Amino acid sequence: MGCGQSVRVNLRTKKDDPKSKTIADPVIQYGTYQFNRNSIFVETHSLYVVDPSPLEFFPPPHVPPTSKSEIFNEEEYEHLDKRAMKVPNEKKKGTLIKLVKYLIKPCKDDVGKVRVLFTWLCAQNMDKMVVPMQPPKENSVVYYLTRLKVKKNNYAQMFSFLCRIINIPCICIHGYLKGSTYQIGQSVEKNKAALYGEWNAVLIDNTWRLINPYWAACAVGTEVSENVDRTFKVDETYFLPDPEQLVNSHFPEEPSWQLVDRPVSIHGFERKAFVKERFFELGMRLLTHSLCELQTDSGDIELTFGIPEHKKMDIQLNCLIFRADFNDWHLQEDSRFQHDMIYNPNDNSVAIRIRFPRKGTYKLEIVGKDRTIEEDGYDFDWVAVYKIRVNGFPKKYQAFPKVGDSGWGNNPRIEENGLAALSHPHAVILAEGDMTLIAFGIEEDSAKGLDLRYRLTDVNKSLDALPLEKTGVTEEEDQYIIEVRPPQGDEAALVVYILTEEGEQINICNNLIVGVDAASVNLAEDIANVKSQLQAAIDDLHLAALDRAVDLVNIKEYEEPMQREMNIARDLITRFTNLHVQKHDVLAIPNSTITEICSNPVLDEVHEVIKAMLLLLGDYEEITTIWTNAIEILSRKETQSLRNRINTFNILKLDMDITLGANKLISRLDLEKITTNCPAAGHMYMWVKGIVEENMKRRPDEVKKTIPRTHELGGPGAPIFKIKEIAGKVPISEI
């Protein structure tokens, strides 16, 4: 089903019978829309609920402290996928609750439970399901699947209901999707009805994780006989994706459910790069162009993406270039010129360089596939789509030379023929001097005695019209050497073949030969651009941008000329990551633990930690020194609850004198003693310490000239006599 839009369903719910062991309708409990006339909006969690009391036990939406890769390994849950795919017939004919109990029986954790339910739901072939003539029994598996088939429920609502059965909180999120009907640059604001969709957030180990079961339900194979069932599998892209990934295609109406450090606006969402599910299937990462609409004044643009190093030989990309003409897109096909060059600058990146032939607006569609996948129906699919405005180009347009079909640089054909790219493992060769030498290693005996030939071409020559050259090709004991004299000044392409005994010409490699002077200019410009991107991420103090910029520097191997900036960026990434973890640890403290702290005598050290935490949140020491006042503050609900105040805390609004005051309160405390006595207070201490240290590092000049403050009464210097006057005498309501 992939990238279609979800169905909007209005739920009419029945009141559950508390004595019943079954639930008649797939009623959702939590949603970002008003799913029931009795549901109310709870601001702390940005949710509609009928009964808000359970929310006291759930953290509000916030950035997950760990990534998907840290909590989920597909191989570890493969046995659950098989279980979900091969449900016994008697279970299919029984009640949904019994089926769910069967599915989760071997699960050892909540990830496993969510996974097996997700896989089962995604594997249901709704296209082939026949609606029963007689209404199925309520609570039966067929009953619920029929409701899904006839669109009385959608996938998000059904998945929420499955999670409800096993008491795992699950949210139905509504918003807008860049799916199969979306056009690049299209206004989401003006097309909300067409782009509407629903997906889920599920609570696993006190962390909200995102899921889209509708988009994850996909059939393998497009040409299938009517008499043969389609084979279904889970699309991993939409099972627990990292929020920074999903926000490229999913925009919730409630911004907090983006679960990112810096939520984007609807207009920011429209501008984000239009990357498709194949992009994530191939393990690609955005490095240089994070917006969907780009501009170039030179007629030349290069996009760089990160890829897994072990997949560098498996990923195959192609480009389709369209030009806007009279409100339509026309494919730019030119038998004379090659407008794009797709190559691997190194082992963990792929670059796409485009040279546009004239001014105008273009659409670049990047398609790709994994060469190792041989399943029926698997072929090229969209990876990303960009709209590019070309404002200018050189007086002399220079396209890329037409080359053979093996692609630029090192590729599988070299290895398939028992060779290895020794001297130039990547696509671009810098021509130094009159002669250029290329070496291929002989890896297998079958590669000895090969008839290696080449053509040396440029943009003005037709490849097929050039003769196969043998001059300069020599075979040594363990390698082949090709020595050529490229034309001076212009770019040239070396196209290498194996000529078989039958006369077949097998293209095994293509390299672009560039003069040193031109390459040096390009390198200097590229280093400057990368350094500028890194500095912008540092100035913006944005974790996602920092990760992307550092990734780009590492991939291009440019660290040496920007060592200072890289050290700053890595330090910021570590600090921001730690802050997210520290915040999560406090948000995950159960309400029962807070109640326990408030109900029992506490160590003085624990009281000091709580005073420091509340000081950062705006409650001064003259109030919190009185323990009963601190208890009252910790016991507050809704928007004034501790969780909500921590979740909405903004370090940019924190004064330095208060920062230093909180630091003073915790500076002499023993963390080990605190944690041993009250683990929750240990998490509070780490959050206070993290916020204090971060603010001091951001504003070092203020630290030296600011006097610590822990109180509201008066200026610098604590009016301790006033605190003593009210301590233990005046309730908080009267202060």
Domain-wise residue ranges, the chain: 53-222+230-258, 279-390, 409-520, 589-704
Q: 3-state SS string over 305-371?
A: EECCHHHCCCEEEEEEEEEECCCCEEECCCCCCECEEEECCCCCEEEEEEECCCCEEEEEEEEEEEC
Closest CA to 688 of 548, 549, 583, 544: 583
The DSSP code for 478 is S
Other Cβ atoms within 10 Å of 25 Cβ, number? 18
Buried b (16+ CB within 10 A) or exposed e, 660-672: bbbbebbeebeee
Q: Name every residue whose Cβ is closer than 8 Å to that of residue 447 and which is 6 or more positions away in sequence.
A: 417, 418, 419
Tokens for 523, please give them: 């390198």
* Contact (Cβ atoms closer than 8 angstroms) between residue 138 and residue 95: no
pLDDT computed for residue 399 by the predictor: 87
Sequential DSSP letters for 440-473 = EEE-SGGGTT--EEEEEE-TTS-GGGSPPB-TTE
Polymer length in residues for the chain: 735
pLDDT computed for residue 5 by the predictor: 62
3-state SS, residue 296 = strand
Sequential DSSP letters for 1-64 = -TT-PPPP----PPPP-TT-SS-SS---SEESS--STT-EEETTTTEEES--GGGGGSPPS---
Say whether 409-520 and 53-222+230-258 share the same fold.
no
Separation between Cα atoms, residue 303 and residue 609, nearest integer Å: 49
Of the options 2.30.42.10, 3.40.720.10, 2.60.40.10, 3.40.50.150, the CATH number for the domain spanning 279-390: 2.60.40.10
pLDDT computed for residue 221 by the predictor: 38
pLDDT computed for residue 279 by the predictor: 95
pLDDT computed for residue 373 by the predictor: 92
Rg of the chain (C-alpha set): 31
Dihedral of CA 50/53/54/60: which sign? positive
Q: What is the pLDDT of residues 196-212, one digit of tens each?
A: 999 999 999 999 999 99
Of the options 2.60.40.10, 3.40.50.670, 1.25.40.10, 3.40.50.300, the CATH number for the domain spanning 409-520: 2.60.40.10
- Beta-ladder partners of 483: 437
Give the count of alpha carbons within 13 A of 518, CB side only: 13
- Beta-ladder partners of 437: 483
Q: Name every residue whose Cβ is closer than 8 Å to that of residue 94 and which is 6 or more positions away in sequence.
A: 140, 141
Q: What is the pLDDT of residues 667-684, one digit of tens each?
A: 999 999 999 999 999 999
pLDDT computed for residue 734 by the predictor: 47
Separation between Cα atoms, residue 496 and residue 439, nearest integer Å: 11
Q: Name residues of the chain where pLDDT drops below 50.
A: 1-2, 11-24, 219-230, 715-730, 732-735
Beta strand pairing call for 428-431 and 505-515: parallel
- Beta-ladder partners of 338: 400
Of the options 3.40.50, 3.10.620, 3.30.1490, 3.90.1410, the CATH number for the domain spanning 53-222+230-258: 3.10.620
* Contact (Cβ atoms closer than 8 angstroms) between residue 281 and residue 334: no
pLDDT computed for residue 131 by the predictor: 81
> Helical H runs in 77-134?
78-85, 89-92, 96-104, 110-122
Closest CA to 442 of 467, 413, 417, 412: 417
Q: Name every residue whose Cβ is closer than 8 Å to that of residue 329 and which is 6 or more positions away in sequence.
A: 322, 323, 363
What is the separation of C-alpha 161 from the centre of its chain, rounded to a whole number of angstroms? 26
